[in-house]
Structure 1
Amino acid sequence: MDQLLRPDQEELIVGVAKRKGIVKPEIQTESGSNKGDNYLSAIVSVTVRDELGDSKLNIIAKKVLKGVQSRKSLKQIFSTEALVYQELLLGYRELQEVNNVKDPFRGSAEFYGAILDEEKETIIMQYLKENGFKLWPRKVPMDAFHVEIVIREYAKLPAASMAFKNVYPERLVLDIAYFLIINSSKEVLSDYQKYLGLYHDVLSQNLRELGLDPEKTFSSETLMDHWKKYSKFGVLMSVLFLRVNSEDIPDKVGMEKFKLSDEAEVRYKERITNAIEFMALNDLA
């Protein structure tokens, strides 16, 4: 048995591989995350090869970390994530296809399956790194080009959500504030209204293609009202995580004993200063 996977996880992966046309699966694994990359889970990178041919499948297994407390909350987190992939995003995808949306939301990996038994929670997904994607280094602020890409994709999700259930994206406005603070440089933050405008432009275009009137469904004025009301909570959440994003967490050091190096302390102070200035200048304190 592979040391990184349990028998039930291997069984699930073998089933996925056979559905994908791999006749005789051979599983190879390696760790897909560093300590601190995922606070409640560990990532295993899985390559499945066909012993009878050249077929290959690249998978990510996201599994619960041992010894994590708050079991009830953790089970709910995995169950909710599986539900989003199994039902919600599938419904959004079908809705966008029916309405021939030109640039639909595609910002998720393909979902292959899940184990939701307590203390065994696992989610199996497509390995996006094999498609050219990679994690942005969390210690480095994201540049304007990549911020714009993420904001565009963010906007497509609530458009599908509003068309699907006619709901309003108060959380997603909070998420935009969190995303901008945790990932952006001071220069990008100073131009935040540009990114809110971009968000609403993409949102409006997708709403029109889904048969909704943006001005009636979610106008730019409504977006700004929600921004003023909810964004401060997203900013406050991001401030809590800036410290962790400033340094790698050593494998044998727990989060509660985690200390910044001198170099990371400088990065942290610079980014926390930028966040505080942003809050003060935009009346979000």
Structure 2
Amino acid sequence: MCTLTEHHKQLIHEIAIKNGFAEYELTIVPCLSKGGNFMGIVSAVTIHNSEKKLEVVLKSAFSYEKEKPPKMLCDAYKREIYMYTRIFEEFHKFQEEYGIIEPFNSVIKIQNYSDIEGSQCLIMENLKTAGYQLWDKTIPFNPEHMETVIKEYARFHAVSFGMKHKNPKLFEELTLPIKGHIFDNEEMFTSVDKSITYITTMFKNIYEAIADDKHLTEYAKEIENKLPQHFWEGLKRKDLKCVVSHGDCWCNNFMFKYKDSQNRITPSKICIIDWQLASLNSPLYDFAYFFLVHADKETLNKYEEYLDLYYNTLSKQLENFDCDPQEVFPYATFEEHANFYVLNHILTVTIVLKIMLCETEEAPEFSDALEDMDKMMAGMEFDIKNKEIYNDRLKDLFEFLNSRNF
């Protein structure tokens, strides 16, 4: 529901005054439909009078009037605010220090924010009015968009590697508040029994998708059996926590600008949004999540080409920071991380693809499940009209995995 609290109005008033509005009116409309954001409400706000107007976006946490907000929700907003007010500021300074010609700067501008528990929000520039557009989530990315995102992720991760190598004390201090993931303490990820239940539930979708292929079904059973130990290993591996990771790599968190807005083949600019799941992680967490969720069959079969594109872009940027890529992130380590996270994200693909392909009225509602992972997983057991497309995408994924012996 598009309503402004008094606290929201005060924050917007501060923006209005800063931008020269003595008197003004506010118009507010929803930005996203159901299923577009699971951590709050996103609204477009127009500050306007007879002479001018200013478009902003308000992203606010769900309201819990009679009870304390879920800790996970509070942590998510606190984390995103920290990313914008601290980490991106330091990343910008570090890149300027080295005179980076093609820096990572594809982040939205924050106009105001609140970190008061129960009233957490961010007020940002409106990218749509600046000409940016979302990709159609029901369609796999074309090669031009795949390349744009992968190269931008490489530039983003290069800043972490460069700072960690050149100024390790600053990097350690800067990333301490995001060292863990907001889900780290959830029983779903700390209990072997819970994780097995979670895997079994999600694999029902996979077995249905590949039911006509006996060989692929046997392969999927092998994957299902080894995933609990695989997840458990990932929780204990400190070597994977090497860069600031985006963590939420589905298409609704990328906005693209085009030289010709009617010809959306090749983007000229990208903006990466929604940093609530950011954490210290492997760069291949982001790469594998993004690639597997958005690749069609043809793109999956070019996996090695996209891996090379990422590593070559990362390497060139590390050299701009006067770093040796083979010393900072050797290719053998890169390859091992890639193999690990391709398996790690099988369930991610199963969940996110269903959300991307569902109709608005089919989308799950998670506002009352943020402290109850059992309820959240139960919410993923829903049918979609685009079931045939969903099954085809899952089958393509497992044919790819099997062909590469993951």
TM (normalized to structure 2)? 0.64
The answer on whether the counterparts of 1:173 and 1:227 sit within 8 Å (CA) in structure 2 is: yes
Instruction: Determine if the alignment matches structure 1 residue 249 to structure 2 residue 246.
Output: no
Corresponding position of 2:336: 225
Deviation at 1:159, TM superposition (A): 0.6
- Mapped to 2, the partners of 1:253 and 1:222 lie a distance apart of 38
Deviation at 1:73, TM superposition (A): 0.9
- Mapped to 1, the partners of 2:397 and 2:149 lie a distance apart of 19
- Mapped to 2, the partners of 1:210 and 1:33 lie a distance apart of 39
Corresponding position of 2:196: none
- Mapped to 2, the partners of 1:88 and 1:257 lie a distance apart of 33
Partner of 1:250: helix, strand, or coil?
helix
Deviation at 1:203, TM superposition (A): 1.1
Which runs of 4 or more aligned residues in structure 1 lie more than 3 Å from their structure 2 counterparts after TM superposition? 20-25, 66-70, 251-255, 257-262
Q: How does 1:8-23 map to 2 (within 5 A)?
A: 8-23=7-22
Instruction: Determine if the alignment matches structure 1 residue 279 to structure 2 residue 279.
Output: no
Deviation at 1:236, TM superposition (A): 2.7
Q: How does 1:130-141 map to 2 (within 5 A)?
A: 130-141=129-140
Deviation at 1:58, TM superposition (A): 1.9
User: Which residue identity is paired with 2:136?
Assistant: P
Corresponding position of 1:53: 51
Distance 1:272 1:32, change over 3 A: same
Q: How does 1:1-285 map to 2 (within 5 A)?
A: 3-49=2-48, 51=49, 53-54=51-52, 56-66=53-63, 71-166=70-165, 168-169=242-243, 170-250=281-361, 254=365, 256=379, 259-262=382-385, 264-284=386-406
The answer on whether the counterparts of 2:42 and 2:59 sit within 8 Å (CA) in structure 1 is: yes
- Mapped to 2, the partners of 1:92 and 1:45 lie a distance apart of 28
Note the alpha carbon deviations across 1:185-226, whole angstroms, 9 max, x for none: 111111111111111121112111122121211233321121
Partner of 2:57: helix, strand, or coil?
strand
The answer on whether the counterparts of 1:35 and 1:249 sit within 8 Å (CA) in structure 2 is: yes
The answer on whether the counterparts of 2:38 and 2:365 sit within 8 Å (CA) in structure 1 is: no
Distance 1:76 1:269, change over 3 A: same
Deviation at 1:62, TM superposition (A): 0.9
User: Which residue identity is paired with 1:7?
Assistant: E
The answer on whether the counterparts of 1:156 and 1:202 sit within 8 Å (CA) in structure 2 is: yes
The answer on whether the counterparts of 1:168 and 1:218 sit within 8 Å (CA) in structure 2 is: no
Structure 1: state its 5+ residue gaps.
Answer: none
TM (normalized to structure 1)? 0.89
Note the alpha carbon deviations across 1:49-78, whole angstroms, 9 max, x for none: 2x3633x32211111234699701111011
Distance 1:251 1:222, change over 3 A: closer
- Mapped to 2, the partners of 1:17 and 1:70 lie a distance apart of 29
- Mapped to 2, the partners of 1:92 and 1:33 lie a distance apart of 30
- Mapped to 2, the partners of 1:229 and 1:130 lie a distance apart of 40
Distance 1:258 1:226, change over 3 A: closer
The answer on whether the counterparts of 1:31 and 1:44 sit within 8 Å (CA) in structure 2 is: yes
- Mapped to 2, the partners of 1:205 and 1:191 lie a distance apart of 22
Note the alpha carbon deviations across 1:124-148, whole angstroms, 9 max, x for none: 1121112221111211111111011
- Mapped to 1, the partners of 2:304 and 2:129 lie a distance apart of 34
Distance 1:258 1:168, change over 3 A: closer
The answer on whether the counterparts of 1:175 and 1:234 sit within 8 Å (CA) in structure 2 is: no
User: Which residue identity is paired with 1:29?
Assistant: I
The answer on whether the counterparts of 1:139 and 1:246 sit within 8 Å (CA) in structure 2 is: yes
Partner of 2:397: helix, strand, or coil?
helix
Distance 1:65 1:194, change over 3 A: same
User: Which residue identity is paired with 2:13?
Assistant: V
